[in-house]
Amino acid sequence: QEELVESGGGLVQPGGSLRLSCQVSEDIFSRYTINWYRQVPGKQRVPVATIMTSGSTSYDDSVKGRFTISRDGVKHAIYLQMNNLKPEDSAVYSCGAHGPRNYWGRGTQVTVFS
């Protein structure tokens, strides 16, 4: 059973930054597309950023220009750099790996407060 482990969440004021990390296995890193998702209570989990094994990236319009997804081939980690955070960015952020199978992390809480 593959495991995805997120870290880096926390409390931040509007306009602040956080960097989330998703630690994966070498197999997942080399063969799977990784999405960062966020979910607020009572709503569905939605993808905010995607990175493919080629390195191609895409973003939801709500985070474009503020969030950056990247990957580190040495550490087998996928990052989500979040800048200029807004209160509406508050959510549980999780990573998902998509390929021959789907795997999910448990998530990390991000709270943006005034």
Maximal C-alpha separation, the chain: 42
Specify burial of residue 83 (Cβ count, 10 A radius: 0-12, 13-18, 19+): middle
Asked if residue 94 lies in contact with residue 106, where contact means CB atoms within 8 angstroms, the answer is yes
Instruction: Going residue by residue through the chain, which has 114 residues, state the pLDDT in tens, using 9 for 90 and above.
Output: 778 999 999 999 999 999 999 999 999 999 999 999 999 999 999 999 999 999 999 999 999 999 999 999 999 999 999 999 999 999 999 999 999 999 999 999 999 998
